[in-house]
């Protein structure tokens, strides 16, 4: 007898309607309860990655999500890398999603400002001002706050309570009680004003309205949600940036002639032309020509790779030398670029979304408040206080719990912290990032472009006895200036900086894979590998041979220079270490972080750079797809990993890391995959970014503490029926002012000297 193993399938669903991380957890829980289903739901990317088997179909999964109160649909087919239409539809969809929220925010702010102003400034409380307040506040509490009411209803159906529940209950209670007071109490009488006696006395509440609380809280929370949504919408931008890296069009050879087509129309086996300066359209094998290919943005390798017939090349890398003809071996989703995009997406989906602090506290606070309100109602009814007094006390409990200061706690601290960060060249993406900065204990640093400049630089000139250094720079620089090779350009630029304008060669020839030769100022000059000089029967003197060996042992590129039949010098070229990197490493250690250097470069280069900046552990010769595995391995050791990178090859690892710091001088893919962006490109900013993030998080926590402390302190008064409106209003205002003032202290944050 044979046992049939159910076929396993995987699908990615686009989830709609989530308002917080607890929504994602609820959907995930429901899906995982289905037999044969394993699911992970990510609030940030609004996607569910589901593996299913045993007769389950996608429609079953969608039905389960919809039964939970949310929407689900298979994502739209993705475009090929480099496709011109790969991002336009997505960007339009994102704009459409944000538009309703933006309209609600504008409505709330426009109408809430005069409501709050009239309630807080007695001089503006003209006759019948309360009815104008009602007219302005009604659209705010109904239309603008509708997402909170809808989410609260969904949560209630599933026995859950979040920040949305607290907002909905608090604003609704304030609004409904104000309606009762206006229509059935004394608050609607001509000449009504808010009393200002600061005494504790029992009232029946019939003359009090709380429209400013209902409208103001709605506006504050909507503002926070809108800016959070804008940030969250960028979760997939790393994928779009990766797709944009590919070539849009390619010249193919068909029927003996050249034809320009879209890259997405390439097929395996097609041969295409790559001219100097063009991107290679897709992964393939060189069938004609030789060149130097700059693959640094994909591999992290700082030195351009020499390719000849038979060598493999990767799509999206740059042809920095001669003309190539390449035969396509992988296209579309099979290319290395597409696989890297998938790695980034998988890393983002697999990263646990940090649940907001307010939601975690609200999960306990909201049920307690509702229970207390019901208990207050029952207590006063049971003691014969009358329906009005009992209902007043019960509603007062809900009103005093209305999260005015709580709504300001996170947005204001984040706004001030991120604003100060922007002034210092640090961009913080959102509140979720801050929790991770506190926990990080290991920082992984990409080498190229992060610790080093990412550009080949002429570092040293070793000359033979009796040879003038300026002659070497002038003659070698002039010849290299005629070459397009990145290393040649580094030599030319370095020479020009030191000796000024370079002469023009009288003759020039490029020797593929070896170097260049030509006539400069009447001298027959050779610049390139030692093998090039050997072909002209020239050997390096002992001193230059030693200099060449030491240069290569340090992982740097050695270039031999000869003229008029004699070897004259060895040039030392490498990706130079940034002047500030060593100081940055020292500061990171001071924050309790253990630095690790991670690179696709060879081990000798990596160890040389690590020794120069003071890093003890090096992980070298790592392919882009393996960088994610390195980060996962460190996380498996129990480490909380921060990573700093700047290239496409770092994007997936930045997304996988607990905290991703992207150098603003790097590629869009890396910047979008990171949680923090360091605009200045100075590694010292990484230490400042972590300090600022930790300080901002501490401010948010203290804001939340005092916001809830106000509620907790005032609740007993409300339950006792002693909630004087002016004391409540003053206390609420004070808590809000305190939160704002505490947040403004972040403006004094200074970068380390």
Confidence category of residue 327, pLDDT binned at 50, 70, 90: very high
pLDDT of residue 140: 95
N-terminal to C-terminal alpha carbon distance within the chain: 75
Q: Which residues are catalytic?
A: 446
Picking from 56, 64, 73, the residue whose alpha carbon sits closest to that of residue 12 is 73
Looking at residue 132, its pLDDT comes to 92
What integer is the mean pLDDT of 92-118?
81
Of the pLDDT bands very low, low, confident and very high (cuts 50, 70, 90), residue 86 is very low
What count of other Cβ atoms lies within 10 Å of the Cβ of residue 542?
A: 9
pLDDT band at 354 (very low <50, low <70, confident <90, very high): very low
Distance of CA 380 to the CA centre of its chain: 52
Measured CA to CA, the distance from residue 522 to residue 702 in angstroms comes to 75
621 vs 279, 504, 599, 607, 712, CA distance in Å?
24, 39, 6, 11, 57
Task: Report the share of the chain in percent with pLDDT over 70.
Answer: 78
User: Above 80 in pLDDT, residue 6?
Assistant: no
What's the pLDDT score for residue 80?
Answer: 46
Segment 547-585, tens digit of pLDDT: 988 888 877 888 999 998 899 999 988 888 888 889 999
Separation CA 496–CA 49 (nearest Å): 55
Region label for 82, one of left (φ > 0), alpha (ψ between -120 and 50) or beta (otherwise): left
* Residue 140 to residue 171: CA distance in whole angstroms: 10
> Which residues, other chains included, contact 125 with Cβ-Cβ below 8 Å and sequence gap of 6+?
118, 192, 193, 194
In b/e form, how buried is each residue of 69-105, taking b as 16+ CB within 10 angstroms? bbebeeeeebbbbbbeebbeebeeebeeeeeebeebb
Averaged pLDDT for residues 683-711? 83
pLDDT tens digit sequence for 417-441: 777 876 777 777 666 677 677 788 8
Query: How many Cβ atoms sit within 10 Å of the Cβ of residue 163?
Result: 31
> Nearest 5 degrees, angle CA 727-CA 732-CA 734?
95
Name the region of 128 (left: φ>0; alpha: ψ -120 to 50; beta: rest): left
- Check residue 561 and give its pLDDT: 93
Q: How far apart are CA 669 and CA 653, in angstroms?
A: 11
- Choose from 153-167, 201-215, 589-603 the range with maximum mean pLDDT: 589-603
Contact 691, 642 (CB under 8 A): no
Task: Give 485 or 324, the one with higher predicted confidence.
Answer: 324
Q: How many CB atoms lie within 10 A of CB 357?
A: 19
pLDDT at 484 over 90: no
Query: What band does 134 get if pLDDT is binned at 50, 70 and 90?
Result: very high
Provide the 10 A C-beta neighbour count for residue 592: 11
Which residues make Cβ contacts (< 8 Å) with residue 185, sequence separation at least 6?
Answer: 204, 205, 206, 207
Dihedral of the CA atoms 39, 41, 47, 53 (nearest 10)?
A: 10
Residue 139 to residue 109: CA distance in whole angstroms: 11
Confidence of residue 358 (pLDDT cuts 50, 70, 90): low
Helix axis angle for 88-120 and 211-232, nearest 10°, is: 160
Burial of 381 (0-12, 13-18, 19+ CB in 10 A): middle
What is the rounded CA–CA span in Å between residue 273 and residue 288?
9
3-state secondary structure of 430: coil
Q: What percent of the chain has pLDDT over 90?
A: 14
Binning pLDDT at 50, 70 and 90, where does residue 526 land? very high
Average pLDDT, integer, range 436-450: 84
H or E element at residue 673: helix 668-673
- Reading the block at residue 156, the tokens are 């209630």
What confidence score (pLDDT) does residue 399 get?
A: 65
Count, residues in the chain: 753
Reduced to 3 states, what is the DSSP secondary structure of residue 127?
A: coil
Residues 6+ apart with CB under 8 A from 262: 83, 84, 248, 249, 250
Convert 642-667 to b/e letters by CB count within 10 Å (16 or more is b): bbbbbbbbbbbbbbbbbbbbbbbbbb
pTM value is 0.59
- 3-class SS of residue 672: helix
Residue 272 has pLDDT above 90, yes or no: yes
Locate the DSSP E strands across 57-196.
71-73
Q: Are 635 and 660 in contact (CB under 8 A)?
A: no
241 contacts 667 by C-beta, under 8 angstroms: yes
Can you tell me which residue has the tokens 């539809």? 89
Cα separation, 504 vs 5, whole angstroms: 73
Angstrom distance (rounded) from CA 239 to CA 443: 24
| pLDDT greater than 50 at residue 267 | yes
What pLDDT was estimated at residue 232? 53
pLDDT in tens, 152-185: 887 787 777 766 777 788 788 878 888 988 888 7
Radius of gyration (Cα) for the chain, nearest Å? Answer: 33
Give mean pLDDT, residues 623-641. Answer: 87
User: Do 678 and 584 contact (CB within 8 A), yes or no?
Assistant: no
């Amino acid at each position: 007898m044979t046992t049939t193993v159910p076929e396993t399938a995987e699908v990615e669903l686009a989830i709609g309607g989530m308002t917080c991380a607890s929504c994602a957890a609820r959907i995930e829980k429901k899906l995982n309860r289905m037999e044969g289903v394993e699911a992970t739901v990510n609030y940030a990317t609004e996607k569910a990655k589901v593996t299913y088997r045993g007769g389950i179909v996608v429609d079953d999964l969608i039905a389960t999500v919809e039964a939970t109160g949310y929407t689900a649909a298979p994502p739209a087919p993705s475009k090929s890398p480099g496709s011109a239409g790969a991002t336009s539809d997505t960007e339009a969809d994102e704009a459409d999603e944000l538009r309703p929220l933006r309209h609600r925010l504008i409505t709330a702010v426009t109408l809430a400002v005069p409501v709050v102003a009239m309630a807080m400034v007695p001089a503006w409380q003209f006759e019948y001002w309360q009815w104008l307040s009602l007219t302005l506040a009604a659209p705010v509490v109904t239309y603008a706050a509708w997402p909170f009411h809808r989410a609260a209803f969904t949560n209630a159906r599933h026995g859950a309570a979040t920040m949305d529940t607290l907002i909905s209950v608090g604003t609704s209670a304030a609004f409904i009680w104000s309606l009762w007071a206006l229509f059935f109490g004394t608050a609607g009488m001509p000449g009504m004003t808010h009393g200002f006696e600061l005494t504790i006395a029992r009232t029946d509440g019939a003359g009090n309205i709380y429209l400013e609380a209902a409208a103001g809280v709605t506006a504050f929370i909507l503002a926070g949600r809108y800016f959070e949504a804008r940030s969250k919408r960028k979760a997939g931008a790393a994928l779009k940036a990766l797709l944009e890296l590919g070539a849009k069009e390619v010249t193919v050879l068909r029927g003996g002639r050249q034809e320009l087509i879209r890259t997405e129309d390439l097929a395996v086996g097609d041969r295409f032309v790559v001219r100097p300066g063009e991107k290679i359209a897709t992964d393939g094998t060189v069938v004609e020509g030789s060149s130097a290919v700059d693959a640094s943005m994909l591999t992290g390798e700082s030195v351009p790779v020499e390719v000849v017939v038979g060598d493999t090349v990767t799509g999206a890398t740059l042809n920095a030398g001669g003309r190539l003809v390449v035969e396509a071996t992988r296209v579309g989703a099979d290319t290395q670029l597409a696989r890297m995009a998938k790695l980034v997406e998988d890393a983002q989906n697999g990263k646990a979304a940090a649940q907001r602090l307010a939601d975690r506290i609200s999960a306990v606070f909201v049920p307690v408040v509702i229970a207390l309100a019901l208990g207050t109602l029952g207590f006063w009814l049971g003691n014969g206080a009358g329906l009005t007094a009992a209902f007043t006390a019960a509603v007062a409990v809900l009103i005093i719990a209305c999260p005015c200061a709580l709504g300001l706690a996170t947005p204001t601290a984040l706004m001030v912290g991120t604003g100060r960060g922007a002034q210092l060249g640090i961009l913080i993406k959102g509140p979720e990032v801050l929790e991770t900065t506190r926990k990080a204990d290991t920082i992984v640093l990409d080498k190229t472009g992060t610790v080093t400049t990412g550009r080949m630089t002429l570092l040293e000139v070793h000359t033979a006895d009796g040879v003038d250094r300026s002659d070497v720079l002038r003659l070698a620089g002039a010849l290299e200036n005629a070459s397009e090779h990145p290393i040649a350009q580094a030599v030319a630029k370095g020479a020009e900086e030191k000796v000024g304008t370079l002469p023009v060669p009288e003759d020039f020839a490029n020797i593929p894979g070896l170097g260049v030769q030509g006539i400069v100022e009447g001298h027959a000059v050779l610049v390139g590998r030692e093998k090039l000089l050997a072909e002209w029967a020239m050997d390096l003197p002992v001193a230059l041979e030693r200099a060449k060996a030491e240069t290569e042992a340090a992982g740097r590129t050695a270039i031999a220079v000869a003229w008029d039949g004699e070897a004259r010098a060895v040039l030392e070229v490498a990706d130079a270490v940034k002047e500030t990197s060593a100081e940055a490493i020292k500061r990171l250690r001071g924050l309790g972080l253990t630095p690790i250097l991670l690179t696709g470069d060879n081990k000798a280069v990596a160890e040389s750079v690590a020794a120069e900046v003071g890093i003890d552990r090096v992980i070298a010769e790592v392919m882009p797809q393996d960088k994610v595995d390195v980060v996962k391995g460190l996380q498996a050791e129990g480490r909380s990993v921060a990573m700093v990178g700047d290239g496409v090859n770092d994007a997936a690892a930045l997304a996988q890391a607990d905290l991703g710091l992207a150098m603003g001088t790097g590629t869009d893919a890396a910047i979008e995959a990171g949680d923090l962006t360091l605009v200045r490109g100075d590694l010292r900013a990484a230490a400042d970014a972590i300090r600022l993030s930790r300080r901002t998080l501490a401010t948010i926590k203290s804001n939340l503490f005092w916001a809830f402390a106000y509620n907790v302190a005032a609740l007993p008064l409300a339950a006792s029926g002693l909630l004087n409106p002016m004391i409540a209003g003053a206390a609420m205002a004070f808590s809000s002012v305190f939160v704002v003032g505490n947040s403004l202290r972040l403006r004094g944050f200074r970068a380390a000297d």
